């Protein structure tokens, strides 16, 4: 296996994470287990999932299959999950984690992220209740309370590292201002050439927080996609670079992140694409090519979580 295929990013707590992982958000039900098995067989050692993707049982089945057949040991893998929003109260954080652990059939996670800074209510068995207007019912639990619960998970050995997802610079500063016992090692956010997030990346670098890009290929298949949304995979500038390099458009977009030291977790359930994406580790873009991609920035966000606009802690509320 080529050395670059083992490339990892180092966390401030001494742990490390493979820079390229398999994403599982929006992966088609019934195809996730095979996608995970295919990815591990291809050399992936980083699997990114979340309770709210509603497919962690399939992810776990894929992981178990590759451990059982001797392809990997548990310690060879880096598994990330995220705390669901209705488990933000201090006493509920461990409950939320254990729901993921049970589905994944794992004893611990390598990385557990606070998925969103905003919380929603949990009413009985309803983990995402909605009001008459169809919007989720908000809870006023502050993310600083949730973070204290996340720290306890590390102390108990249930997770090795903790981090954040979809947080802004001011919100990260609030967590950093706590008398933290455990460092923020990772921030997972949407980053593409259309949304370069330069300020956020620079801030994280200054605080030794590794950044992971989700939806690195754009997210045109999401439920709230609009016909007017730009299609990153069809951008002629990216296509030109792909043609010049003899690579796929997806490989160009993935390499764009890797080359900047940003981890990324592209999603696919198609075996050929899973392999194709993994080959992004084996070539380099010129500095000029990276600059051309950065120049495409239009501050366009695919994942807006619009149904929760109005929550005071929403990180990018377009209604304000």
Q: Please list the active-site residues.
A: 53
301 by Cβ neighbours in 10 Å (0-12 / 13-18 / 19+) ranks as middle
Torsion angle defined by CA atoms of residues 92, 98, 100 and 105, in that order, rounded to the nearest 10 degrees:
180
Torsion angle defined by CA atoms of residues 13, 263, 300 and 235, in that order, rounded to the nearest 10 degrees:
170
Read off the tokens for 44: 């992936």
Q: Residue 65: which H helix or E strand, with range?
A: helix 56-68
DSSP letter at 136 equals B
d(CA 180, CA 185): 12
Q: Which residues pair with 138 in a beta bridge?
A: 120
Cβ atoms of 311 and 121 within 8 Å: the answer is no
| Residue whose token pair is 């801030």 | 203
Read off the tokens for 296: 């495409």
């Amino acid at each position: 296996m080529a050395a670059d295929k083992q490339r990892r990013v180092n966390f401030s707590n001494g742990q490390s994470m493979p820079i390229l992982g398999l994403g599982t958000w929006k992966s088609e039900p019934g195809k996730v287990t095979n996608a995970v098995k295919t990815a591990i067989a291809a050399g992936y050692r980083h699997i990114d999932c979340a309770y709210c993707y509603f497919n962690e049982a399939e992810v776990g089945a894929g992981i178990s299959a590759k451990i059982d057949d001797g392809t990997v040991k548990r310690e060879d893998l880096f598994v990330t999950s995220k705390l669901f929003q209705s488990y933000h109260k201090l006493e509920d954080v461990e409950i939320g984690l254990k729901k993921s652990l049970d589905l994944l059939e794992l004893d611990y996670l390598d990385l557990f992220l606070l998925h969103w800074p905003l919380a929603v209510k949990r009413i009985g068995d309803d983990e995402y209740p909605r009001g008459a207007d169809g919007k989720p019912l908000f809870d006023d639990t502050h993310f600083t309370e949730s973070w204290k619960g996340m720290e306890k998970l590390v102390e108990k050995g249930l997770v090795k590292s903790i981090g954040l997802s979809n947080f802004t610079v001011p919100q990260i500063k609030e967590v950093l201002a706590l008398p933290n016992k455990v460092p923020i090692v990772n921030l997972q956010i949407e980053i593409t050439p259309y949304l370069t997030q330069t300020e956020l990346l620079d801030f994280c670098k200054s605080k030794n927080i590794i950044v992971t890009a989700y939806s690195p290929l754009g997210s045109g298949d999401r439920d709230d996609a609009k016909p007017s949304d730009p299609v990153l995979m069809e951008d002629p500038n990216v296509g030109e670079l792909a043609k010049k390099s003899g690579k796929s458009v997806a490989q160009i977009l993935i390499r764009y992140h890797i080359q900047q030291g940003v981890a990324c977790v592209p999603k696919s359930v198609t075996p050929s694409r899973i392999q194709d994406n993994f080959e992004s580790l084996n070539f380099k873009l010129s500095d000029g090519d990276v600059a051309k991609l950065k120049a495409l920035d239009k501050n366009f966000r695919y994942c807006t979580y619009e149904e929760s606009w109005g929550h005071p802690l929403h990180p990018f509320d377009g209604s304000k």
